[in-house]
Amino acid sequence: MSTIKRKKMDKLVKSFEEIDKMRIAGRLAAEVLEMITPHVVPGISTGELDKLCYEHIVNIQNAIPANVGYKGYKKTICSSINNVICHGIPDNEKILKNGDILNIDVTVIKNGWHGDTSKMFLVGKCAPHNERLVKITQECLYKGIEVVKPGAYLGDVGNVIQQHAEKNYYSVVEDYCGHGIGATYHEEPQVLHYGKSGSGIKLQEGMCFTIEPMINQGTKFCKVLKDGWTVETKDGRNSAQWEHTIVVTKNGSEILTKRNDEF
Ligand code: MF3
Ligand code: CO
Ligand code: CO
């Protein structure tokens, strides 16, 4: 391996002290999703949900909402409803209705370190096909996390996610991926949610990255709306996403953004 390459690789590995800071940021990001959960009901707007998250991060957590000002984005959360795959923009005119499925994605910066996470919400009573999409997508995330350990390959993660999605007659979005994370919001490596096992970089203890599969009921194809952010499915069918920030540990991984409603 060349010197340049090794330098790059070393940057992917965080120190114990750095991981401690990632743990704090990750907990805060998870806590935003815990806080907002009882507010996600039919009749509330995504603009109101965004305001609640902003106030919580800034006033209660004394932290920074990473999305505000990120490449010109103006909101704290991304709120993606039904056929929106990701990067849905909160709006006071966008009112949640019974049967919607919603993803809220939030990133918190604390002491310079990032925690990035998202979860799906079933708004009121949802159709069985939507409940199933949301459940299988969460399983995709967990299956991806399960294969993470030193010596495994990033391609192993993508492979198990794709296997599980396709076994259930869904497709995996390829245009957006997970990412390394730390003092920078999006850094190397790219974490694909599809691919061949044994491909990509070899995982080492101390690497931090997100896994955030976007799974579609129909085809994998996306379109970006004129607002420059909102990503929708091309065929208009629904999409789901779940995201965690994780760190590779000696024997596997630790979920830095784990919520109280999990496990
Ligand atoms: N949180 C998203 C991710 O998982 C990125 C959102 S960028 C924004 O990487 F600007 F749209 F908020
Ligand atoms: Co992310
Ligand atoms: Co995110």
For the stretch 95-152, pLDDT in tens is 999 999 999 999 999 999 999 999 999 999 999 999 999 999 999 999 999 999 999 9
Give me ligand 2 centre to Cα 180, in Å: 8
Q: Which ligand neighbours the alpha carbon of 210 most closely?
A: 2
- The rounded mean pLDDT for the chain is 97
Per-residue pLDDT tens over the stretch 15-57? 999 999 999 999 999 999 999 999 999 999 999 999 999 999 9
Q: Whose CA is nearest to atom 8 of ligand 1?
A: 67
Per-residue pLDDT tens over the stretch 160-210? 999 999 999 999 999 999 999 999 999 999 999 999 999 999 999 999 999
Give me ligand 1 centre to Cα 127, in Å: 28
The residue whose CB lies within 8 Å of the most ligand 1 atoms, and thus the one to mutate among 76, 105, 175, is 105
Give me ligand 3 centre to Cα 15, in Å: 23
The pLDDT of residue 203 is 98
pTM score, two decimals? 0.97
Give me ligand 2 centre to Cα 243, in Å: 7
Tell me which residue has tokens 């996306």.
222
Give me ligand 2 centre to Cα 191, in Å: 10
Q: Find the residues whose C-beta lies inside 6 A of ligand 1.
A: 67, 70-71, 73, 78, 87, 105, 107, 116, 212, 229, 243
Q: Which of 8-12, 53-57, 116-120, 245-249 has the lowest mean pLDDT?
A: 8-12
Q: Which residues crowd ion ligand 2, with CB under 5 Å?
A: 116, 210
